[in-house]
Every structure is written in C-alpha cells, then in structure tokens.
C-alpha cells in the first residue's frame, strides 16, 4: 500500500516534505502534483524507478523522461544551452514547459534519448514540488501521470491512491493542481520546435 501525504498547498509541512524526500532517496516511486498535472517521480539514476514508470504507463524505451529541477542553476548542470536558448528558456521558467536539450555528462545514460543524446528538463511553478526539490537537493526523474488508453491525466490525490495503491510507494496530495500536461519545446537543434501544446502558452516559441 502506498503512503499518503496530505501536504498544505501554500505552507508545506517540513516534516512531511522531509519524509517524502527520504522515501525518494531510498528508491520509492512517488506520485506528486505539479503546476501542470500529477507526475510520477523517482530518484535520479534509479533504473528500477524508471522501469516501474514505463510499466505503469506502458511506455517504450524512446520515451523522454523529464528532469524536474528546482532552479536554473540546477538545470544548467544537466543540459547544454547556448545564449539565445538560455534567454528563451529563462524567460519561461518557472512554468508549465518542458524543454528538450542536449544532455551533459551529469545525466545518466539510461535517461538519454537513444539517438539524440538529449533529455527533457523543466522548472515547476508549484510550492509543494519546489519544497520537495529543495529538500532533495537534486532533480526528480519524472513523467506525466497519464495512464494507458486514457486521454486525461489523473488530477486527484485520493483517486491516485485508490487506483495506483499497489504500484506506487507514495502519493502526495496538496489539493487542486493543473489538469493539462506541459507544453514541450525541443531546442536540441538550436531552434524551437513545439512537440506538444499543453499548459504553457506556446506562442512565445512560435
């Protein structure tokens, strides 16, 4: 059975946040809210965690996982970014965007797109997620909590606990969160290519 944490959306309880971070460090797979919608998350470098996410979502090995980063300094450790792209990404963060960029050597090989050597990164505009990332001190490997054959992501903590009780280890509930996945922008070629239109306004990258 998954542990259930009811976390205050504006003033996250430090003890609860620390317990969730400890669970991630020990290898737990968590379901947690973001500014776009719920995500599945695991420790950076956890092969088992990534396999469990693939299993839940029925994904193939070409799926781009996302590194959920606390801030721009942390994001910069994991992707290579030139000046023009830097300005565009900086202006849109934190927010409901995922950026696909060339990865640095800090990124575990199993996270890389097999042909492009790229990785997805984002900085969420969500109080609870930010508190968790600050406590964790490193990015969360993440993927939108969108179940196979369903068009809408799960958005309610109690429903996630009910439906995924035996396949995730922790469910974090902080009330309402977004209902739409992020807008995905691929900057791997140096030019913006909108891969998916979602919660973030794509107009700034068109």
Res 186: pLDDT? 96
Q: In what order do the strands lie in the sheet with 3-6?
A: 3-6, 170-173, 30-32, 39-43, 140-144, 66-68, 118-122, 97-102, 183-186, 193-196
Burial (CB < 10 A; 0-12, 13-18, 19+), residue 57, is middle
pLDDT averaged per 10 residues in sequence order, the chain, 206 residues: 96 98 98 95 96 94 88 94 92 95 92 85 97 98 93 89 97 90 94 94 92
Query: In the structure encoding, which two tokens stand for residue 23, read together?
Result: 């669970």
How far apart are the C-alpha atoms of 189 and 169, rounded to whole Å?
38
CB 152: neighbour CB atoms within 10 A? 11
pTM: 0.94
| Structural domain containing residue 185 | 3-205
pLDDT value, residue 64: 78
Q: How many structural domains does the chain have?
A: 1
Question: What does the chain look like in DSSP terms, one character per residue?
Answer: --EEEE--SSS--HHHHHHHHHHHHTT--EEE--SSS-EEEEETT-HHHHHHHHHHHT--TT---EEE-SSHHHHHHHB---HHHHHHHHHT-SSSEEEEEEB-TTS-GGGS-TTT-EEEEE----HHHHHHHHHH-SPEEEEE---TT-SS----HHHHHHHHTTT-SEEEE-S---SSPPEEEE-TTSS-EEEE--SS-GGGG-
- Residue 61 has a pLDDT of 76
Task: Give the model's pLDDT for residue 102.
Answer: 95
**CATH code, 65:** 3.90.870.10
Q: Is 109 exposed, middle or buried (0-12, 13-18, 19+ CB in 10 A)?
A: exposed
């Amino acid at each position: 059975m998954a542990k259930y944490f009811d976390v205050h959306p504006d003033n996250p309880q430090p003890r609860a946040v620390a317990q969730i971070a400890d669970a991630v460090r020990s290898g737990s797979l968590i379901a947690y809210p973001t500014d776009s919608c719920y995500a599945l998350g695991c420790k950076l470098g956890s092969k088992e965690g990534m396999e469990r996410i693939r299993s839940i979502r029925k994904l193939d090995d070409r799926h781009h996982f996302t590194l959920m980063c606390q801030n721009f300094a942390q994001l910069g450790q994991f992707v290579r970014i030139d000046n023009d792209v830097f300005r565009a990404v900086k202006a849109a963060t934190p927010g409901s965007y995922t950026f696909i960029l060339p990865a640095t050597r800090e990124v575990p090989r199993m996270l890389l797109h097999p042909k492009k050597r790229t990785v997805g990164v984002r900085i969420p505009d969500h109080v609870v997620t930010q508190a968790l990332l600050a406590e964790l001190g490193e990015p969360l490997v993440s993927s939108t909590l969108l179940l196979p054959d369903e068009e809408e992501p799960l958005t309610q903590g109690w429903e996630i606990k009910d439906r995924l009780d035996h396949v995730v280890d922790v469910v974090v509930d902080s009330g309402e969160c977004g209902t739409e996945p992020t807008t995905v922008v691929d900057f791997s070629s140096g030019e913006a290519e909108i891969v998916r239109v979602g919660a973030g306004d794509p107009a700034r990258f068109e």
